[in-house]
Amino acid sequence: MGRGEPGHNCKCSYNRATLIVCSINIVAALFVLRSLYTHLVDSHTTFRYTPGQIREMQVSNQIRKASEPTKLIELVTQLKKKIAKEESVVELPRHLKVKLIDEILNRLRSLDAATNTTAQRDTVETWRKEKLKEAKKLVRGKILNSTILPEEAEIVVRALSSGWVELAEEIGLWIPVEIVNKEHDDKPDGEEEFEILPGRQLPAECHAELHTDYGGVAVRWGLTHPKESAYDCCMACLDQAKNANQGVKKCNIWVYCPSETGCFSPDIYQHKNQECWLKYSDTPKLNFKGTYSDSYRDTHPNAPLIVPWVSGVVSV
C-alpha cells in the first residue's frame, strides 16, 4: 500500500496539467473570437464627417450639378421622343395604300401634259393637305363622304404627316425639282464680245473656234497631254499628223481647255486647265458650240451656260 501512493500523486499531477492546458486553449480561443468580433463591429461603424468636410461635399455637389449640360440633356430627350414617335409609324395596309396611290395619280392626270414639275409638286402637296384635313375630321368623329373609313383615319393621319416622306418613297412618288437657268448678261448693248486666249496668237491654219467642242476618235488622250496654250495644242496636232506612221490615224481636230477652273464634259472625268485632246474624224462634227441648251442643262445641272472649250479642224 505504501508503494502505491507515489503513483497516485503522479496521476493527479497529469490530470491537473491537462486541465491547465485546456483552460489556456479556451482562453486563447475566446481572445481570438473577441478580436474578430471587434474587427467586424469596427468595420460596420459609420464614419463621422466633420462639419467642414460636409460643407465641402455640398459645394462639390452644387458645382457638379451646375456643370451638367441640362439644356443639352433636355434636347436629346426630346429628340429621342421625336425619333421614337416617327419610328412608330404603322405600315399602311395594301388596299389603303393602293387607294391613296390611285387618288394621287388621278390628280396628276388632270394636269396638262406641258405642266412643269413645280406645278406637279404643288398639286400633290395640295392633295396631301386636303386628305390630311379630311382624315383628322374623321378622327374627331365627324361624318364625311370620304373614301377613308373611320377606322382607317388615324393611320392615314400619321402616314400623311410624320410618315409622308417614307410613304412617298415607298409608293415610288418622285418628282424632280425644276431647274431654272437664268443667263446674266451685263454686256452693254451693241458691244461685241472680245476674248483673248492666253499664249501665242493662233495661225489661220488652226481654224480656232471659241466655245466649241468637236467630237472624234482620240489620237492623243487629253488627260495626260497638257499644253501651255491653245497655240501649242494646235501645233501638237499638226506635228502628229506630219510625223504619224503609215496606218496610224492622223490628227485633224484639236480641242483645248483654256479655263483655269477646268472644262465641263458629260463623261466621268474631271477635265482640268491646259488639257489638249488630239482627235481624228473623217467628217468632223460638233458636240457643242456657243452655249449649252436649257434642255441639256436641265439633265446636266453641272453644265455651265457657255461651252468652255476651244477647238479647231485642220487640214492634213
In the prediction, which pLDDT does 181 show? Answer: 62
Task: Say how far apart CA 218 and CA 208 lie, in whole Å.
Answer: 18
Average confidence (pLDDT) over 104-110: 85
pLDDT at 235: 95
Alpha helices in the chain (DSSP H): 5-43, 51-67, 70-87, 94-109, 117-139, 153-160, 164-170, 230-243, 294-299
Q: Which residues pair with 291 in a beta bridge?
A: 306
* pLDDT cut 70: percent of the chain above it: 82
What number of other Cβ atoms are within 10 A of residue 135's Cβ? 23
Query: Across residues 218-243, what is the average pLDDT?
Result: 93
Question: What is the reported pLDDT for 71?
Answer: 81
pLDDT at 73 over 90: no
Cell numbers representing residue 42 in the block: 469596427
Phi, psi of 241 (to 5 degrees): -65, -35
pTM over cut 0.85 = no
Angle between helices 94-109 and 117-139 (to 10 degrees): 140
Length of the chain: 316
pLDDT band at 4 (very low <50, low <70, confident <90, very high): very low
| C-alpha to C-alpha distances, 98 to 105, 131, 157, nearest whole angstrom | 11, 15, 16
- Which helix (H) or strand (E) segment is 219 a member of? strand 217-220
Q: Which residues of 201-235 are buried (b: 16+ CB within 10 A; e: fewer)?
A: ebeeebebbbbbbbebebbbebeebebebbbbbbb
